[in-house]
Amino acid sequence: MSGIRHLYVHLPFCAYRCGYCDFVTLVGREEDHEAYADALLTELELERPRLATELETVFLGGGTPTFLATSALRRVLASLPRAEEVTVEANPETVTPDLALVLREAGVTRISLGAQSFQPHLLEVLERRATPDVVRRAFYHLRDAGFDNISLDLIYGIPGQSASDLEHDLEAALALAPEHLSLYELEAKPGTRFTHAHGEELKRQADAMEGYLERLVAVLTAAGYRWYETANFCIAPEIGDGRDLRSRHNLAYWSGRDYLGLGIGAVSTVGELRWRNSSRLRGYVDALASGRTPPRELEPVPPEVRSRERAMLALRLDQPLPLARFAGSLDAAALSRMEALALVERSGEGEDGTVALTPRGRFVGDAVAAELVV
Ligand SMILES: C[S@@+](CC[C@H](N)C(=O)[O-])C[C@H]1O[C@@H](n2cnc3c(N)ncnc32)[C@H](O)[C@@H]1O
Ligand code: SF4
């Protein structure tokens, strides 16, 4: 079957703005929710010829998709093409039993719940509204509605977070037995309100963080989770019910597949072209209201650039790279150097050979990938 099989839909509205967040978001704007849904659906119709009739994955991300007016969210979900995996990002404080049922009945198969931390003092630093109990309650509402594939997002490296705080967060997350966990190291962008407010503490935190990734990998793998991507873990099939619980949508990105993104700020990569929709709501809604493609920035991505990107992303995964496919993007001398340092290991010979990062290599994966990929 031809056509793109992975669709991202951006729902930018949030009830508030967390200080550390750098995503394309808009606070409130309830009066614009329905018009935005109309525009999204028009963009979908304009782009539909590029899509396969049956998709593998749809991902509704934000912003806060579950903050969108429920009628608009229902319309969007009802109009999207069918897909085997349909994920919605949810903020805990928006998840009621009713909303969980709306999502379930609309065919959503997977929820990514933004917990971030289970400790009040760290949630306060992040300016989150959901308390640990609200996070837990949201999780149970989703379970009660029948969701059997829930991911929790946690952030580590929060100013003031000690090693025992990290252990506590992992323990609290594991107590819920989510199928999937994403552990993101806090990224504090220069110039943001957050960096301004916590600059000194962020520097201290960076120094104190040595070993945090090793620690969390040890805890989660001991609990039966597969460390399948640098920041992502899922219950291993042999521990769970045999399902492969990796995020299929994100695996598509990490495997360098084509994907289509709808909505403000959304990125699409199709063949040798990448485009990013403008982040401005008015320009997006007005263009689509008159049936025109929204304003976009285009960027050519020649095959050698895509190969390099694919190699960088593939090195984040726990599966070996086939050398026959990636040899052109890997520096042979760097490969031998990294091998001597026990950061990568090769197996097999010639065309059949593969290369993989060792566990030690994965802990410094970005630096190893930067050396290896040419
Ligand atoms: C696109 S956000 C939206 C999710 C949802 N609105 C929420 O806040 O829970 C998806 C995830 O990215 C992560 N994230 C956002 N900003 C981050 C930052 N500055 N550093 C690290 N992770 C971040 C959070 O874990 C968040 O759950
Ligand atoms: S709720 Fe999520 S998307 Fe919205 S501002 Fe906070 S982190 Fe960003």
Q: Which amino acid is at 25?
A: T
Per-residue pLDDT band for 205 (boundaries 50, 70, 90) equals confident
Give the atom of ligand 1 at the shortest distance from the alpha carbon of 153: 25
Helices 365-372, 303-314: axis angle to 10 degrees equals 150
Tokens representing residue 275 in the block: 């485009």
Over residues 287-307, the pLDDT tens digits come to 999 999 999 999 999 999 999
**What's the CA gap between 7 and 80, in Å, rounded?**
9
Over residues 338-374, the pLDDT tens digits come to 999 999 999 988 778 999 999 999 999 999 999 999 9
DSSP labels, 248-301:
HHHHHHHTT--BEEESTT-EEEETTEEEEE-S-HHHHHHHHHTTPPPPEEEEE-
Mean pLDDT of the region 133-156: 98
Question: Which residue has the least CA distance to atom 3 on ligand 2?
Answer: 63
Is 90's C-beta closer than 6 angstroms to any atom of ligand 2?
A: no
Residue corresponding to tokens 């709501």? 281
Is 18's C-beta closer than 6 angstroms to any atom of ligand 2?
A: yes
Which ligand minimizes its atom distance to the CA of 12? 2
Pocket test for ligand 1, best of 10, 16, 23 (most atoms within 8 A of CB): 23
pLDDT over threshold 70, residue 51: yes
**What's the CA gap between 265 and 25, in Å, rounded?**
9
pLDDT over threshold 70, residue 1: no
Is 64's C-beta closer than 6 angstroms to any atom of ligand 2?
A: yes
Residue corresponding to tokens 């802990």? 363
The model carries a pTM of 0.96
Which ligand minimizes its atom distance to the CA of 195? 1
Give the long-range contacts of residues 334-339, CB within 8 A, separation 24 or more.
334/371, 334/372, 334/374, 335/372, 337/371, 338/368, 338/371, 338/372
pLDDT over threshold 80, residue 46: yes
Cα angle 235-236-237, degrees, rounded to a multiple of 5? 115
Over residues 240-289, the pLDDT tens digits come to 899 999 999 999 999 999 999 999 999 999 999 999 999 999 999 999 99
Measure 23 CA to ligand 1 centroid, in angstroms. 8
